Every structure is written in structure tokens, then in C-alpha cells.
Structure 1
Amino acid sequence: MSWLAGTWVRTLCATAILGAALAGPVVPASARPVLTVAPPTVDPGALGSAQALSGNPAPLEPTEQQTVCAEPTFTGGQLREAPLAQRVLNLPAAWQFSRGAGQKVAVIDTGVNPHPRLPALQPGGDFVSDSDGTVDCDSHGTLVAGIIAAQPSPDDAFAGVAPDAEILTIRQLSLAYKTKESRRGEEPGAIDTSGYGNVLTLAAAVVRAVDMGSTVINISEVACTTAGSTMVDGALGAAVQYAYERNVVVVAAAGNLSEGSACGTQNTGTGWGKVQTVASPAWFSPYVLSVASVESDGSPSNITLYGPWIGVAAIGRQIVSLDSKPGGTGLVNAVPTQQGMSTIDGTSFAAPYVAGLAALIRARFPELTAQQVMDRITHTAHGPGPGRDDRIGHGLIDPVAALTDQLPDQPVSSGADVPRAFPEPIRPPGPERLPRLVATIGSIACLTTLAIGFAISIPYRRKRDSDLLPDLDS
């Protein structure tokens, strides 16, 4: 079946790669010039194009399904133990404090198929075809939604991070669809080799999710380009800023290292000056919380794309989630490939663990801003060393700590660069004035009396002394 092609597998098991939309043909790393990358600036004026599309979701041109839909499967018998990626988060302990009630998490992805364990599923529209967003031919979006909000079942040990949260599904990408009349390179930002979807409709989907009341947005899509290349993600940057300024937490996959794609060169240095591959929207920090994938021991997965924009990490290996087939009621944990069955892996599936945690925090602390929610997640994460690094950010998330730790409302360093007058030193109080004055006057009077008495006694002392001496002149 054509959906088993390597491109589909890389997308499902990694992230939805939109690199062709930004950078054109992939250039070998050895042939690329060394260019310095600075943090992106956002042009609020670029938001208009996304807003114009957000109110009426539809493909920008006629599309059609050209491949059969994906059919992941479940291997290994009944799931009696929680998956590792779920188990390390200690969700039962976290649920004592929050289950995400009252939160709406937007899944901007390949759509979400209805599933009995996603009872609160709201359609948000379709930028790929003519559905309402509750159709998923690629399986990707349904897997993401299950990780975020699947309700527990007595039949297995799987559950979403925030089982009481609502899912808003917006279909923005599908590798099973293409335009009816493919015209390579005719539209900036278009993908024409591996499906349908572009950065402009992704920006429009973000705006739509905000306007429909989302408190958290999950984006498991990444657009990669070579450092220094002309970017066409201005509307996307403006859209995530739009969300941030309206108090919506945006969580994005960091992207996967994928040979032969625009995400094919690893960022091996540290800091913005060493960036070789840019990942969008992940690089729009601080408006986005970017998520890397780690192994069970907390070390970086060899598939995760590094960068100075990485915020935190979650396990993105051997993923289990909801069956995405129409009418499906069970779970899936594998995809068939030409080499046999393969596990489901990637930062696409690490990100929803963080989005689910954001929903838990928002439900427990509704007064927190989007930035404060992200701070709780990053400040309570666990890394192998002090501080953060460009591979896994601040480290593996810790839901229980994020829900219970006492953190300051503002960072400890907040305001450290604001000049302030140095306060006058505090002088310790001395003894009371009246007793000290009486003692001083008394001492002076006493000394004066002694001096007068001594002066009066001198002549008498001399007379007595002379009577006692012998008369040596006689």
C-alpha cells in the first residue's frame, strides 16, 4: 500500500516535515555556507493573511485523496502495564491534584477520528478537504489526541495525561491528499511532494484555535530550513504570538532528524551562532514551548533535533495511543513498514505529553498566565546537569512537581537589571539619652571635686614633709 512509503513513516514516527515548503531542494550539509542565525523577530502585520483564512477553514485549492489511509496496529497482547512514556510521569499521583477539567486543547494536525475514549471531541474545521476536522486518514492526529486526553479504561493500562480535558481538532495537514492539479513551486509555502498543507494554513489554524477558546494548542508539525535561507513563516510567527498574547499555551514538537529531508542536519553546537537547521514554529521562543524527545534514562533520543529554542523533553519512544481507524475502539503501538513492524516514535508524540501537562496546570491554577504555566513546566523539569542545554532544554517533565511545587510568581532574577538606589545602612540604636547625660555630668562633677581637693592639699603636704627632714646645715 502506498501509505507505507518512507515519507509517511517518517512523518508519523517523527514530525510532519514541511521543509520543502520553506527551503526547496535539500542541500547537503557540506555544500551549505556557514551562516549565523539570530532569534526570530515577529512582524505582527503578517497576521492578517492568517486571520483572513481562519474564519472559513478550507483548502486553498481543490484537493483529492491519492493514497489509502494509514492503518496502525497493536502488537504484544493486552496492555496490562502503562506504557513507559506514561509510567515515568506518575499520572495517578498527578491526578490527585488535576485531571484537566475545563480545558480545551487544540490539536492542529491531520485530524482526529472519533473514539469512545475521547468523548469530548469538538470539530474545528479542515484546511485539507471538506470535513469538519473529525477525519484522520494519516493516524497522526488521533495518536496525538489520545496522548493528551484519552480516558482510562478497565480493559488496559493506557490513559491520556489530562483525561478530563476537551479536544478541539483542526485538520491542517495530510500526506494522503494532494492538489488535483499539482504545480510544483507555484505557491510559496506549498508542499507538493509529500501531501497537502503549508505554513500559511498552519498559521490560520493557530488563529482559529485561539478564537474558538482553546487554552492550550499542540502543534506536532515542524517546518525545517537551512540556516540563513529566506523564511516564509512570518504569518506563523505572528500567529503563535497572537496566541501567547491571548493567554494560550502553545506547545510544539522540536522536530526530528530525518536523513534526506530539510531536517537532515543536526545542530551540534551550542547557541544561536551554531544553528544549521531552523525548525518552525519551534524556534519562536518564548511564544512557543518546544519539546524534544528523550530515552527512558533521560538522555536525548538520536532522532530529536537540537536547538537553542528547546524548552523541555518527554519520552518519544515506543508510543501507545488510540486506534485511529474509523470505528476503532482499541489501541495501537506499531506501524507496518517494508522491513516489518515498527514502533511509533518521535517528537510529534513527546509534545502532547507536555500539552497534556499544560492542561493539568491550567485547571489547577486558572489564574496563571501562559508564561507562568510554561515556567512551571520548565522550572520543575529534570535534566542530567544544571540549567538547560540545546538538546533537551530543561529536561524531562515532572507533572507532580509542576502541580505541587511552591514557585515564585516571577523568576528569581526578574528585575535584576533595573537600577535601584542603594539603601542607607541601618544604624543600631544606642542607650537612652537621659541616663547617659546624668552619668556624664556626674562623672565630670566627681572628677572636678577630686581635682580641687588635690590642689588644696598640696601646701599642707609640703609642710609636713619639711618637718621630717634632718637639718644638714647645723
Structure 2
Amino acid sequence: MRHTRLPLLRTAAAAALLTVPVVLAPPSAAADSFSGQCEYPNAPYPGRPWSLQRVQLDELWSQSKGKGVRVAVIDTGVDVRNPQLKDAVDVKSGRNFLPKGLKDEDGDPIERGNENGTTDTVGHGTKVAGIIAARPADKTGFVGLAPEATIIPIQQNDAEGHGDTDTLAASIRHAVQAKADVINISQDTSDAAEPAPDLEAAVNEALEQEIVVVASAGNDGAGGNVKKTYPASYEGVLAVAASDRNNERASFSQSGDFVDVAAPGVDMISTVPRGGHCSDNGTSFSAPYVAGVAALIKAKHPDWTQRQIVAQIEQTAERTVAGHDRLVGWGVVDPVRALTEDDRPIESPRPREGLVKAEAPAAAEFPLGETADERNARLATYVAVGAAILVAGLGGTAVAIRDARARARGTGVRRGRTAT
């Protein structure tokens, strides 16, 4: 689903950084439904989405289901009318930061929604929340990665892009007050504009409270475009790119040195307002995949710091090069490894560990069928037998010469005289 980017608000001097719009990162190619146009409500998705098929869910959930962990979804709201989200959302902690009295281009009032952030006319935030914590349900194989985590719904943006960096900063601060353990932000500033310092200050306040802050890297990476996006590129934020079914960077996913990890972001099935499911593309749906993993780790290791949780996700990601690259960061997130290779917390990922690398073929062995001692004994036998044959041969030659001489003497022929 594409959303219009609003023009940047800049001073003539261009040096002063003002409030700028934040946008719901639009996908490179929309995929609104798994079967035709997405409607609200929509039909339930009958199978298990590919992004979950790649995970051994039973093994994952034997370690953690995210129970007791609170995840703030700062987005377009979370529609609790979807049955899979009804019991996943803390309605009392929700908040709506959209300004009142909004009107569209025709001057008609724009539906703002409930004050507690539990309505969603766009569907974006409801999809994000479902990837994190949707409860299991009949007639569908879709479920959130952390199905016992709790969602804090914070409505801060809409399809027209009325959210800005001021409302985003206020939303982050509300998440801190609401005791969030993880914050998901599937948005970035319009045209990658660097916002006023207050947004970074709000992010730092959350980090100081040991809250894991996850943000989408953005979807303007087609053609190898490299640039920073905000708030994903702030220090301490876990920036998430999108990967495809081959565990490679999705073509639209934003690249840059700030990218920390990648996660599935293509053909992502999730919950939609009023019930059912739809499909969508974008780093907007990669970020909550990682936020769900963070919630699982937090539930299993409640004493770990936000930095340790982030390092654990980075360390256990699947990568094919040593260290970090600008396409997928430390690699594609592996939820099971993140929850099982966790003997002790780490502060930063180790480049050489966890590297997936093809092994060189071993040299073929020549099959002698005997040990070294057996081979030495065999060679010694060859020498001994050869010597015996040689001796026997020399002895036989001497006997033959002797016999020949004896026969010559027995003929009666005498040299120098003729018989008469």
C-alpha cells in the first residue's frame, strides 16, 4: 500500500532542522492481498505463511512465547476487532496522537479514531501488531512470533501522512511511560530528512530505560540507493532491512551502514482490521518480525539489557560474510538460534562466529586397505622372499655347472690320445 509523501518543512537557510513528516514506508510493489484486492474484513489465510514456515515454531515456543513482555506499536492504530488481536492488546495503555479536526483535500473530516489507538482505517498498524503478537486461531496457520506478548497501541499516523516527528517523539515518550519493553516504529522521515534533535532525544530516553527500539530501514533501496533513514539510523536503534524467500536483500530494501539485520519482508501475511488477513511487502513488516524476536528474548531473559538483546539478535543472524555489510547488516534474523544459543549475554556481535560458509572438499584418500605397520611388514616380506629366490637361483646355477662337468668326464674321451 503506497502512501503520499508530504513535502519537507525546511527553512530558507536549510541549516535549521524543523519538524518533518514521517511516512509509512511504502513497498516497492504493492501486494495488498493473498487473493485479489484486500478488503476489511478479509478472508482468513488458510495455510502457514512462508515467513513462519522457515521457523521451527514448536522449538521456538518451547523457549519462550513472550509472556509478560509489552511491545509498543507506534503506527496507524491497532484494530482490536480482529479476533487474533482482541486479547493481545492493552487497550487502557493505548493513545491517539493524531491532531483533531483533520480534513482531507476536499475539506471533508478525516476519521481520527478512538483516543486509545484501537481503530485503524489504514490497516498498516494492525498488520504490524499481528506479526508480533497475533494469537493462534482456527482456520488459519498465521500467528504472531510472540503470541503471549502484549501490544500497546499508539496511533500516530494515517494514510495522509499527518504524523510528524513531533508526534513520533511524543509517542515514544508515551511508550516509555506505559512501561514498554520493546518499541516498534515502522516509519521513517520523508525523503530521509534528518529531523530536529527532539526525536533522537526521545529515542535516547527509551534506550536509557532499557527498552529495545526497533525501526524499519525504509523501502527506497531500489537500484542500490544508499542513504540514512530516521529514526532507524540513530545510535542504539535496531534498524531492520527486508529479506526475501532466498534470505537475500529484497530489491526495495534500503541499504546503508546503519542497517543492523534483515528479516522477511516480502509477501508478508498478517491481520487486518475487522478480521482476516492480507499480504503486503516492505521493511514495515520486517521490523515487527524482529520486534517479536526481541520480545521472546526479553521474556526468557528479563534481566538482559536492551544492548544485550540487540547483540543476541545480531550475533545469531544467518550471514555468509564475516562481519557486517550494508545490505543485510549482520544477516537474516534466525529466531530459533536467537533463543537457543543464549548461554550468556554479549554486548556486541562477534564477526567470525556464526558464519555460514561452504567447506572445501577433503582430499580423496588412496584406499590401501592396510595400516602403515601392515604395509611395512608386507614390504619386508617382499624383500625377504626376493632374497631367498636370489639365493636359490644362484645355488641352482652352481649345481648345474657341477653336473655338466661330471657328465663330460664320464664319456671316456681323453684329450691328446686316440684309442686303438
TM-score of the aligned structures, taking structure 2 as reference length: 0.69
* Contact 1:224-1:278 at 8 Å conserved across structures: no
Q: Which residue of 2 aligns with 1:125?
A: 95
**Alpha-carbon separation, structure 2, partners of 1:363 and 1:413:** 21
* Contact 1:203-1:235 at 8 Å conserved across structures: yes
1:401 paired to 2:337: yes
**Alpha-carbon separation, structure 1, partners of 2:262 and 2:9:** 26
Q: Say what the alpha-carbon RMSD is for the aligned residues.
A: 2.7
* Deviation of 1:127 (Å): 1.2
Alignment of structure 1 residues 184-199 onto 2, 5 Å: 194-199=160-165
* Contact 2:154-2:171 at 8 Å conserved across structures: yes
Q: Which residue of 2 aligns with 1:430?
A: none
Map Cα deviations across residues 30-69 of structure 1 (whole Å, 9 max, x no partner).
Answer: xxxxxxxxxxxxxxxx9xx9xxxxxxxxxxxxxxxxxxxx
Q: Where in structure 2 are there 5+ consecutive unaligned residues?
A: 13-17, 20-30, 37-42, 99-111, 351-420
Q: Which residue of 2 aligns with 1:295?
A: 244
* Cα distance, 1:23–1:353 mapped onto 2, change above 3 Å: farther
1:20 paired to 2:7: yes
Q: Which residue of 2 aligns with 1:234?
A: 197
Letter in 2 for 1:365: H
Map Cα deviations across residues 304-323 of structure 1 (whole Å, 9 max, x no partner).
Answer: 01111111111100011112
* Contact 1:18-1:198 at 8 Å conserved across structures: no
* Cα distance, 1:224–1:305 mapped onto 2, change above 3 Å: farther
**Alpha-carbon separation, structure 2, partners of 1:412 and 1:331:** 37
Map Cα deviations across residues 181-206 of structure 1 (whole Å, 9 max, x no partner).
Answer: xxxxxxxxxxxxx4311011101100
Q: Which residue of 2 aligns with 1:75?
A: 35
* Contact 1:10-1:258 at 8 Å conserved across structures: no
* Deviation of 1:408 (Å): 4.2
Instruction: Please state whether the residue corresponding to 1:332 is helix, strand or coil.
Output: strand
Q: Which residue of 2 aligns with 1:435?
A: none
Q: Which residue of 2 aligns with 1:151?
A: 135
Q: Which residue of 2 aligns with 1:255?
A: 218
* Cα distance, 1:281–1:150 mapped onto 2, change above 3 Å: same
* Deviation of 1:224 (Å): 4.5
Instruction: Please state whether the residue corresponding to 2:284 is helix, strand or coil.
Output: helix
* Contact 1:18-1:221 at 8 Å conserved across structures: no
* Cα distance, 1:217–1:353 mapped onto 2, change above 3 Å: same
* Cα distance, 1:93–1:297 mapped onto 2, change above 3 Å: same
1:136 paired to 2:136: no
* Cα distance, 1:23–1:317 mapped onto 2, change above 3 Å: farther
Identity %: 38
1:330 paired to 2:276: yes
Q: Where in structure 1 are there 5+ consecutive unaligned residues?
A: 1-8, 12-16, 26-45, 50-70, 176-193, 268-276, 334-343, 415-474
**Alpha-carbon separation, structure 2, partners of 1:299 and 1:24:** 40
Map Cα deviations across residues 146-182 of structure 1 (whole Å, 9 max, x no partner).
Answer: 000001123111110100011100000002xxxxxxx
Instruction: Please state whether the residue corresponding to 1:235 is helix, strand or coil.
Output: helix
Q: Which residue of 1 aligns with 2:229?
A: 279
1:200 paired to 2:200: no
Instruction: Please state whether the residue corresponding to 1:358 is helix, strand or coil.
Output: helix
* Deviation of 1:236 (Å): 1.1
**Alpha-carbon separation, structure 2, partners of 1:24 and 1:172:** 25
* Contact 1:220-1:351 at 8 Å conserved across structures: yes
* Contact 1:19-1:223 at 8 Å conserved across structures: no
Aligned residues: 310
**Alpha-carbon separation, structure 2, partners of 1:133 and 1:412:** 35
**Alpha-carbon separation, structure 2, partners of 1:412 and 1:236:** 25
Q: Which residue of 1 aligns with 2:365?
A: none
**Alpha-carbon separation, structure 1, partners of 2:349 and 2:339:** 22
Residue number among 221, 225, 236 corresponding to 1:266 in the alignment:
225
**Alpha-carbon separation, structure 2, partners of 1:315 and 1:22:** 33
Q: Which residue of 2 aligns with 1:338?
A: none
**Alpha-carbon separation, structure 1, partners of 2:148 and 2:348:** 33
* Cα distance, 1:151–1:225 mapped onto 2, change above 3 Å: same
Residue number among 77, 95, 103 corresponding to 2:61 in the alignment:
95
From the CA coordinates, give the structure whose radius of gyration is larger.
2
**Alpha-carbon separation, structure 2, partners of 1:413 and 1:152:** 33
Q: Which residue of 2 aligns with 1:369?
A: 305
